[in-house]
């Protein structure tokens, strides 16, 4: 399969920006180290540690997406991705640091994008091989109906509240209502007039 270009990522993302450019450099650098091709299926997994613009480059270039279940998001706010190949068992952790960026580019967005895309790899990203536990494969679960709202829910996400199987929003609503009731009861008990 042909490698996606930065322009392909821009088309998907909707605009060109420094974040997308760094995501593109991180993904292509990790790919070169892994010797990977775009993930047609689930054999390649991306674990991303932020949900910013660059992740769209991961989806286009690496073919890892939420829908396929091979894009794992950790909300760490770090410019770090880890790619794992199920085929070879190898993992690469890539950090986007832009260490070599010249000072003068800070206020010039377009120049920054051009620099990120063209700079020598070591000035933009660093990659190293890592050993990680193989992420679990996406599994298909059956769904059942929530007795609160009647909408279909993945079985493993149903909660039991007061003996009723509820989806998470309905369960939270019921629990909040329960807390309110308890608060009213205890206030009544503590009321000196009673």
Segment interacting with Zn ion (CB under 5 A) among 20-28, 42-50, 92-100, 117-125: 20-28
Using CB under 5 A as the binding rule, whether residue 167 contacts Zn ion is answered as yes
Of 149, 182, 183, 184, the residue at the interface with Zn ion (CB under 5 A) is 149
The DSSP secondary-structure symbol of 185 reads H
Q: Which of these, 95, 29, 27, lies nearest to 56 by C-alpha position? A: 27
Using CB under 5 A as the binding rule, whether residue 148 contacts Zn ion is answered as yes
Of 44, 46, 53, 158, the residue at the interface with Zn ion (CB under 5 A) is 53
Residues near 65 by Cβ (< 8 Å), separated by ≥ 6?
A: 59, 71
Nearer to Zn ion, 20 or 48 (CB): 20
Burial of 135 (0-12, 13-18, 19+ CB in 10 A): middle
Nearer to Zn ion, 130 or 149 (CB): 149
Residues near 9 by Cβ (< 8 Å), separated by ≥ 6?
A: 20, 23, 24, 56, 57, 60, 61
Using CB under 5 A as the binding rule, whether residue 146 contacts Zn ion is answered as yes
Six token digits for residue 111: 């120049």
Strand 44-48 and strand 80-85: the pairing is antiparallel
Least distance from Zn ion to the Cβ atom of residue 192, Å: 40
Least distance from Zn ion to the Cβ atom of residue 27, Å: 15
Least distance from Zn ion to the Cβ atom of residue 151, Å: 6
Of 6, 9, 10, 17, the residue at the interface with Zn ion (CB under 5 A) is 17
Least distance from Zn ion to the Cβ atom of residue 166, Å: 6
**Total interface residues for Zn ion by CB under 5 A:** 9
Least distance from Zn ion to the Cβ atom of residue 168, Å: 8
d(CA 131, CA 113): 32
The DSSP secondary-structure symbol of 59 reads I
By CB under 5 A, name the binding residues for Zn ion. Answer: 17, 19-20, 53, 146, 148-149, 167, 170
């Amino acid at each position: 399969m042909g490698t996606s270009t930065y322009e392909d990522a821009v088309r998907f993302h909707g605009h060109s920006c420094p974040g997308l450019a760094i995501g593109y450099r991180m993904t292509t650098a990790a790919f070169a180290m892994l010797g990977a091709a775009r993930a047609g299926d689930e054999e390649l997994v991306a674990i991303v540690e932020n949900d910013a613009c660059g992740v769209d480059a991961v989806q286009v270039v690496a073919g890892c997406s939420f829908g396929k279940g091979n894009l794992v998001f950790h909300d760490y706010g770090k410019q770090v991705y880890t790619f794992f190949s199920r085929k070879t068992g190898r993992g690469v952790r890539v950090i986007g640091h832009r260490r070599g960026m010249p000072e003068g580019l800070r206020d010039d967005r377009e120049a920054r994008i051009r620099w990120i895309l063209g700079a020598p790899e070591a000035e933009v990203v660093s990659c190293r091989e890592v050993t990680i536990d193989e992420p679990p494969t996406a599994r298909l679960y059956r769904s059942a109906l929530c007795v609160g709202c009647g909408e279909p829910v993945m079985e493993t996400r149903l909660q039991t509240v007061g003996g009723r199987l509820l989806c998470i929003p309905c369960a939270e609503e019921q629990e909040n209502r329960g807390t309110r009731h308890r608060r009213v009861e205890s206030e009544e008990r503590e009321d000196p007039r009673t």
